[in-house]
Structure 1
Amino acid sequence: MLSRSIELVECSRVPFASGLAAHGERTALIVDGRDISYRELAERVDAVARRLGSTRRLVLITGANALDPIVAYLAALASGHPVLLVPGGNGDALAGMIETYRPDVEVDDGRFDELAPGTTHDLHPDLALLLSTSGSTGSPKLVRLSHNNVQANAEAIAGYLGIRDTDRAVTTLPMHYCYGLSVLHSHLLRGAGVVLTDRSVTEPEFWDLVRDHRVSALAGVPYTFDLLDRVGFADMDLEHLRYVTQAGGRLDPERVRGYAALGRRRGFDFFVMYGQTEATARMAYLPPELTAQYPDTIGIPVPGGSFRIDPVPEGEDGAGELVYAGPNVMLGYATTPGDLASGRVVDELRTGDLAVRTEAGLYRIVGRRSRFAKLFGLRIDLQRVDAALAAHGLVACCAGGDEQLIVAVVDADPRHVRGLAARASGLPESAVRVVPVADLPRTENGKPDFRAVAALADRAPDEPLAGAGPVDLSRLRALYAEILATDEVTDDSTFVDLGGDSLTYVRMSVRLEKLLGNLPADWHTTPLRELATETRRPRRGLRTVETNVLIRALAIVFIVGSHLHLFELVGGAHVLLAAAGYNFARFNLAGSRSARFRHTLASVARIALPSMVWIGGVVSVTGIHPVSSVFLLNGVFGPDAWTREWRYWFVEALVYIVLAVAVLLAIPWVDERERRFPFAFPLVLVAAGLLTRYQVIGPDTPTSQILASYVVFWLFPLGWAAARATAVWQRVVVSAIALATVPGFFHDEPERTALVLGGLLLFVWIPRMWWPALLVRPMEVLASASLFIYLTHFTVYPYLRDIDPWFAFGASLVVGIAYQQLWVGLGWLWAKWRFRSSGTSADPGRAPTGRPAGTAAVTGTDG
């Protein structure tokens, strides 16, 4: 046993941590927009090292991607104090570690607590770092790593990645996770910079940091890449990105190929890596030039390491246990404080993974020794069962129970899953228990939590699903599938992700409120699993209604009534153009650039198709419009002066404008600018539109003043900006633009000017209102059918107004609503036929399983 008062001079240190000052004024860390140079970081590290004292002590640090924890961590490594690194946010796990290992010092978010004078431990001179094993966060079983382990693995990673002192990484993974820690180590080793943030890759602010600080390195586990797919990473313009790394679990080979191909197009290298905490971080990597040909392998050992394959009884087709040797192999495990005095007890790492070596000299993982279960005398390879379920498009994870195979599955028919799992495992179906879950249990590192899956066996059969609320999620999935005519609904789906737009929004909100009560303001971007917990009862006799819905309902009433001269409240169509921009910003700007384009084209189809069908029917029966009107081309070929051909100017303008915006956003540079400047971008479009509004360009005719699409265009991005205005100053800006530009547009029509201004200001300042419950349902019906009423009323009221103008008014509304219901019904039948003809059992009345969410439903023809 070593002396408890061993001095720091007798122990080793981590060279890159003690040599920070050598990098001088180069940027080491970027924290909250501030650059911390290596010189300043070294000074901070020295100050904390002095505070830790000259006697080696066990230092517990609550890891976080923040300056104070990283300074404390580097100070301990640089001066020889062993670090016990634990995650933050889990009080029970922290208390358990303190109770088990009795650290001498605790550092938590800048707080420095002396728990013991000097030290109470025997600490081996080589001991540098203690980490929880992968997937066992909070477990008292720790990996003991030496100073040489940490330094050697950082050097190996920096070597094969080719990290330069000009590179900058960003923290996408937690500091207490060995993968996240290795990013910090390898970049500090080379004098590169690290941007510290806890923001998710799903947040726009994260990508602002990436661009603003010229980030060149991005790291992720498989779940990270799921998120990147959702946010449209493939379409982002990240000119400084040099390399993307993936580890922490197996990524599907086709996705490996896809990201590698994306990297070749965009100028970054894609590295697939393999490692374990017991090897400090990394054991293997796949060179980027080999990803296209060998995407299912882990590649070659890292510099300084080597592999061999040992035969095992369960190995098939030449597979054996993968054994690694190298300078980054741990000293051993610790389960008690007494183990901290031990030196090296292992020289190589038995990974527990089954692997084969290919003819190309690369290694491929084919299974896991510890992922076997023995049931009914059969040895079950759980990883193979997982793979078989994944091959059927299921999100599932298996674990061995005492007497059953436990399968956790997301959004699937349990009977179907049970049959697949039984066939894959060779077990009878009675030995398979399928547990539906809202999401797979995962560790804090994003990996499947097999222990948590096994624990699901103890859950009562009638216990509610994790994450479910008082409303059955299957009812919500079925509702989304029905209204949006899509078979891609999961518990993580949102209305926007599935292709919802302003025409389906009202109908969906009406049906949802029947299930949930009053909806939250952001329900259209809220995943179903969270929406199910939002049930709130309305005030007695009152309900909230969105201003968007109110304006659409009132606008169509004003339009029809004004055309019948029942009252003079004109300007409703122009307000609807702003409403279209408002809803475009809410519903059409999610996902990747290509997804946006598809989604927007689907929205155009939902407007154009019912319009062309109705106008075509009118032309074929009455002949009162030219054929160009059928194809919405009156704005191109029609007369300049007002004639009956201009009746459908609003539909034409809306189609032209949305198509133009869709084409504009399909340009990568433009799409990137919109994502980066979501509020400023529509204001730039407003400025462009004002050139025709004020006739700086374009013809000077009476019609073009208020009807031509290129003249009224500015109202669309003004509504768009209103949707993006979240801060008070932004609302003030949009209001000021409206107050400055609407007056004068309608010449000597102050009432129309006031109506349009009032609508715009309501959008900006009052998103929801309380209304008598009896009025809300009719209002929602009118708003949902507003396009159809606009189309049909020109045909209905001329034949009935001489009988009674109010009768003509009511009939115009009823016919429009009826046309909407007919169109919705035809769309539903078409979707049902399409699903059946494609060979799937899905239909739009229920939510099928097995396909990921996120693609816009381009076949929805909803009103």
Structure 2
Amino acid sequence: MTISPIVAHLRSFDDRIAVLCPRPPSAGVTAPNSVADDVRRVTYAQLATLVEEYAARLGSHRRLVALAARNDIGSLVAYLGALSAGCVVLLAAEITEELLGAYDPDVVDAGEPIARRVHSAHDLHPDLALLLSTSGSTGSPKLVRLSAANLLSNASAIAEYLSIGRDDRAATTLPLFYCYGLSVVHSHLLRGASLLLTERSVLDDEFWDQVRVHRITSFATVPYTIDLLDRVGFGRMRLPDLRYITQAGGRLAPQRVRDYAELGARSGWDFFVMYGQTEATARMAYLPPHLAAAHPDCIGVPIPGGRFTLEKVDDDSAEELVYHGPNVMMGYAQSSADLALGHTVEALRTGDLARRTSDGLYQVVGRRSRFAKIFGLRIDLQRLESRMAAAGFTTSCTESGDHLVVAAERSAIVGAGSEVTAAAARLSGLPAAAIRSCLVDELPRLANGKPDYPTIRNLPTAAPPATTRNIRALYADALGLEHALIRPDSTFVDLGGNSLTYITTSARLERALGRLPTDWPALTVAELERIPRGTSTFGRALDTSTLLRAVGIVLILGSHIGIYRLWGGAHVLLGAAGFNFARFAMSAAPRAERLRHGLRTAALIAIPTACWVALTLTFSDYYSWQNVLLLNKILGPQDSDTAGHLWFIEVLVLFIVAAALLVRMPLFDALERRDPFWFAMALVVVTLLFRVQPFGLYSAHDVPFSPLACWFFALGWAAAKARTIWQRLLVSAIMLASVPGYFDGPDRERLVMAGLLLLFWLPAVRVPAIAAAVAAVLADSSLFVYLLHWQVYPLFGQHHGAALLASLGAGVLATSMVTGLRRRSGLESQDFRRRLLRQSRDQYVSRNRLAGKVIE
């Protein structure tokens, strides 16, 4: 049997590790003990066998194989196996109907190879090996035809200038179907190095755990990856095995190049800025790391084996950069008929205008082509204009920085440009936040009739529709943020929303929209804008946790003042706090972000409390220094008149901080993400151990205000994660079984059980509008009402009604004053603002990268 060159090459490295990849999930297998245990190690010999087996499944007939690739061992084996079998691979994120219609592949593999015919329906050129998309972001079937010689020459050149050796190990931070990501695979397997196959984002803490444990020596980045690295504090990380970082996929601002070159020099790794296109297989130039800080605006020198020429552009003094080398594509393909063509391209006209500096480096100074690169996506502007025309819009499209500028004639447009933005977003694959729509009576043109793109770039942006302005302004005001931080794809949780800001925001949103879905915190601004304004026959929907906070604070105050004796409201609020912690802090964000969210929520409770207690120490001995630290329940004294006055705030802050720290741990974070409900139920079981002791039940008389009441918080957490009726029934049954006997009276137990059942089963209740408004104000002010009432109500003696109203009024007034001061003083940190400015973009890119939309 003839062994293919690919299999022979792989076998030559024998038992060296070729690939590290996630272990396949197995039923009944518990979570791994460490990051090192969570990977499968595939040697070169094993990889060769897998590749050989896949090639055998394809048979001896040369066919066109369409492969939907992910960063996993199955996709890698399928890709190498198809090449090994002599087939032509059409590599893509997904096999779309457009690709199927244009190329009619003989075999389709979207996880399993499915043969559509035994013999190829196409005349495949003998040199043709690989088809890659050059403009997948606009859905174009235009593909780049690459030969095996193209792939080998480019892999060899890259391996040479990066000095890749057998001890190198790269993490696959970019998709395999992207020419840049694929070049990492080619260059490392060529030299017997190894790969960590992963789809984790650099935002994930687990990614960096793997980088350290598996001694990763390099990873590839595009400009948005650099933004993400800034966000996770990459500059402070210790990565002793890291040898170099590469950057391509779009122009990185010179200052950022300089920053990372200097960071690398300090940290012991090199920063390679590279320049390439799919048409050149991957790379055409690189900037030697020792020149990056001094020449951050240059693309550097040609790769080994390649060279550049500068050719005059017609009617212009500028020169176009032209590349020559063995990695230049065979040519383009528009349909299956083009697969029979040989080499139709000898040199690659890059479409970039460039010059050669006195130091011999090449510098790109402009663009000639009708392509733009935005958010890491390569946009075919001509095709986008054609598709916009088919959708009924007369437009001219260009780029300006990180934005796509779409100038549209007003004729068929309503909605102040929102229709244009929505259509451009849909057809380009970009988020609406990256599109600037401009409305004109007539498109600006030059004297020769061509579009005047410089003028288009400077056109004023069309004003957003009123609903957009209102929703974004509403979020900005309710959350105390700058309007510019609110992006169309931002959600309430993304913007740092929590239980303390939920009430005000939900009340204002319902007034703006007329009705509000229960899952609105997870909806984006754009999705909220699309909700048609509704009307209700009766009042407003009030979130149950908001209602419980309002009723609870009134019950607590009235019982303290002596109007009535209705105890139990505080324990209901502990359940509501756990419920809201699970809703807002347990988002899909990285665990470091979850921790920040939880600590920020705790700080918004602890700091005002500590400040108020410290202030009271200046004019009374009502509290002690232990109360300032919120540690009276731990440090004592337990017998003072005020020992229990702040118990609720103390344990609430303790529970939030403890919960946030718990899910910051990699193991618990992984378990919570795997099954949020059962993770929460495990916490309920563990915390109920504090409810029961070996010699009997605790009673409320013994430990009514102790941190041992954490099981109420855990019950609320579990209820928030319950997604089915039986799960809610389970949480309810545990609660109904555990509350009786805990308190010293049946009335208190019935009140607690009724409040928690309401929280567990009703997401919202409909109440009169005035009641909703009052409840929202009281709930929003509940912290300061609780803090201040201890000093306010004694001033009114036996006038209990007046004491209650005055305590409520003082808390509402204090809340309003503190909120205003916080906004005016810019209490939100600059770091938080910077993270918000990038967050919508980060999440958009992460979502679309997994969906396979980041192509070039």
TM-score, structure 2 length as denominator?
Answer: 0.70
Given residue 321 of structure 1, which amino acid in structure 2 is its aligned partner?
E
- 1:328-727 → structure 2 map (5 Å cutoff): 328-335=327-334, 339-358=338-357, 361-370=360-369, 406=397, 437=421, 441=425, 472-487=467-482, 488-534=485-531, 541=538, 545-577=542-574, 579-580=576-577, 583-584=580-581, 586-587=583-584, 603=601, 606-607=604-605, 611=609, 623=620, 625=622, 628=625, 635=632, 639-644=637-642, 646-651=644-649, 675-676=669-670, 678=672, 707=705
- Aligned partner of residue 366 in structure 1, secondary structure: strand
The 8 Å contact of residues 401 and 457 in structure 1, kept in 2 or not, is answered as no
Cα distance change, pair 528–165 in 1 and its aligned pair in 2 (3 A)? farther
Provide the aligned C-alpha RMSD in A.
5.9
The 8 Å contact of residues 169 and 194 in structure 2, kept in 1 or not, is answered as yes
Deviates more, 1:128-137 or 1:437-446: 437-446
Given residue 507 of structure 2, which amino acid in structure 1 is its aligned partner?
V
- Give the deviation of 1:327 after TM superposition: 2.4
- Aligned partner of residue 283 in structure 2, secondary structure: coil
* Partners of 1:529 and 1:441 in 2: CA distance: 12
The 8 Å contact of residues 283 and 305 in structure 1, kept in 2 or not, is answered as yes
1:713-749 Cα distance to aligned partner (Å, 9 max, x none): 7876786677678899999999999899988876x56
* Partners of 1:683 and 1:245 in 2: CA distance: 45
1:215-251 Cα distance to aligned partner (Å, 9 max, x none): 6654343344445656776788888766544321112
- Aligned partner of residue 497 in structure 1, secondary structure: coil
1:250-306 Cα distance to aligned partner (Å, 9 max, x none): 123344455556667887655432211111111223445554444433334333333
* Partners of 2:84 and 2:495 in 1: CA distance: 51
Instruction: Find the counterpart in structure 2 of residue 790 from structure 1.
Output: 786
Cα distance change, pair 592–206 in 1 and its aligned pair in 2 (3 A)? closer
The yes-or-no answer on 1:112 pairing with 2:114 is yes
The 8 Å contact of residues 232 and 592 in structure 1, kept in 2 or not, is answered as no
The 8 Å contact of residues 432 and 488 in structure 2, kept in 1 or not, is answered as no
Given residue 793 of structure 2, which amino acid in structure 1 is its aligned partner?
Y
Cα distance change, pair 595–560 in 1 and its aligned pair in 2 (3 A)? same
Cα distance change, pair 314–442 in 1 and its aligned pair in 2 (3 A)? farther
The 8 Å contact of residues 13 and 192 in structure 2, kept in 1 or not, is answered as yes
Cα distance change, pair 264–83 in 1 and its aligned pair in 2 (3 A)? same
Cα distance change, pair 735–171 in 1 and its aligned pair in 2 (3 A)? farther
Cα distance change, pair 536–357 in 1 and its aligned pair in 2 (3 A)? same
- Give the deviation of 1:31 after TM superposition: 6.3
Deviates more, 1:236-245 or 1:773-782: 236-245
Pick one of 85, 88, 104 that aligns with 2:91: 85
Aligned positions, number: 771
Given residue 785 of structure 1, which amino acid in structure 2 is its aligned partner?
S
- Give the deviation of 1:706 after TM superposition: 5.1
- Aligned partner of residue 798 in structure 1, secondary structure: helix
Cα distance change, pair 445–267 in 1 and its aligned pair in 2 (3 A)? farther
- Aligned partner of residue 272 in structure 1, secondary structure: strand
The 8 Å contact of residues 564 and 801 in structure 1, kept in 2 or not, is answered as no
The 8 Å contact of residues 514 and 536 in structure 2, kept in 1 or not, is answered as no
The 8 Å contact of residues 310 and 354 in structure 2, kept in 1 or not, is answered as yes
The 8 Å contact of residues 234 and 592 in structure 1, kept in 2 or not, is answered as no
Instruction: Find the counterpart in structure 2 of residue 181 from structure 1.
Output: 182
The 8 Å contact of residues 205 and 591 in structure 2, kept in 1 or not, is answered as no
Given residue 219 of structure 1, which amino acid in structure 2 is its aligned partner?
A
Given residue 556 of structure 2, which amino acid in structure 1 is its aligned partner?
I
- Give the deviation of 1:477 after TM superposition: 0.9
Given residue 320 of structure 2, which amino acid in structure 1 is its aligned partner?
E
* Partners of 1:413 and 1:61 in 2: CA distance: 31
* Partners of 2:73 and 2:111 in 1: CA distance: 9
* Partners of 2:380 and 2:817 in 1: CA distance: 44
Cα distance change, pair 810–149 in 1 and its aligned pair in 2 (3 A)? same
Given residue 322 of structure 1, which amino acid in structure 2 is its aligned partner?
L
- Give the deviation of 1:757 after TM superposition: 7.2
1:616-657 Cα distance to aligned partner (Å, 9 max, x none): 77777x746368599567839974313147534444555677
Deviates more, 1:678-687 or 1:532-541: 678-687
- Aligned partner of residue 283 in structure 1, secondary structure: strand
The yes-or-no answer on 1:19 pairing with 2:6 is no
1:69-93 Cα distance to aligned partner (Å, 9 max, x none): 5544323322333334344253134
The 8 Å contact of residues 206 and 666 in structure 2, kept in 1 or not, is answered as no
Instruction: Find the counterpart in structure 2 of residue 820 from structure 1.
Output: 815
- Give the deviation of 1:529 after TM superposition: 1.9
Given residue 568 of structure 1, which amino acid in structure 2 is its aligned partner?
R
The 8 Å contact of residues 686 and 717 in structure 1, kept in 2 or not, is answered as yes
Gaps of 5+ in 2: 26-39, 387-393, 408-416, 444-460, 695-699, 842-856
* Partners of 1:766 and 1:852 in 2: CA distance: 37
- Aligned partner of residue 184 in structure 2, secondary structure: helix
- Aligned partner of residue 647 in structure 1, secondary structure: coil
* Partners of 1:458 and 1:78 in 2: CA distance: 57
Instruction: Find the counterpart in structure 1 of residue 851 from structure 2.
Output: none
- Give the deviation of 1:503 after TM superposition: 1.6
Given residue 77 of structure 1, which amino acid in structure 2 is its aligned partner?
L
1:293-345 Cα distance to aligned partner (Å, 9 max, x none): 444333343333333444557888xx743333332122233446565444434
* Partners of 1:449 and 1:499 in 2: CA distance: 19
The 8 Å contact of residues 487 and 840 in structure 2, kept in 1 or not, is answered as no
- Aligned partner of residue 645 in structure 2, secondary structure: helix
- Give the deviation of 1:152 after TM superposition: 1.8
- Aligned partner of residue 642 in structure 1, secondary structure: coil
Instruction: Find the counterpart in structure 2 of residue 95 from structure 1.
Output: 101
Given residue 115 of structure 2, which amino acid in structure 1 is its aligned partner?
D
Cα distance change, pair 346–407 in 1 and its aligned pair in 2 (3 A)? closer
Given residue 476 of structure 2, which amino acid in structure 1 is its aligned partner?
A
Given residue 820 of structure 1, which amino acid in structure 2 is its aligned partner?
T
- Aligned partner of residue 286 in structure 2, secondary structure: strand
Instruction: Find the counterpart in structure 1 of residue 452 from structure 2.
Output: none
* Partners of 2:401 and 2:337 in 1: CA distance: 43
Instruction: Find the counterpart in structure 2 of residue 33 from structure 1.
Output: 24
- 1:100-179 → structure 2 map (5 Å cutoff): 103-115=105-117, 117-118=119-120, 120-121=122-123, 123-134=124-135, 138-163=139-164, 171-179=172-180
* Partners of 1:237 and 1:670 in 2: CA distance: 19
- Aligned partner of residue 494 in structure 2, secondary structure: coil
Instruction: Find the counterpart in structure 1 of residue 33 from structure 2.
Output: none
- Give the deviation of 1:789 after TM superposition: 1.9
TM-score, structure 1 length as denominator?
Answer: 0.70
Gaps of 5+ in 1: 1-7, 373-381, 388-395, 419-432, 461-465, 697-701, 839-846, 856-863
- Aligned partner of residue 344 in structure 1, secondary structure: coil
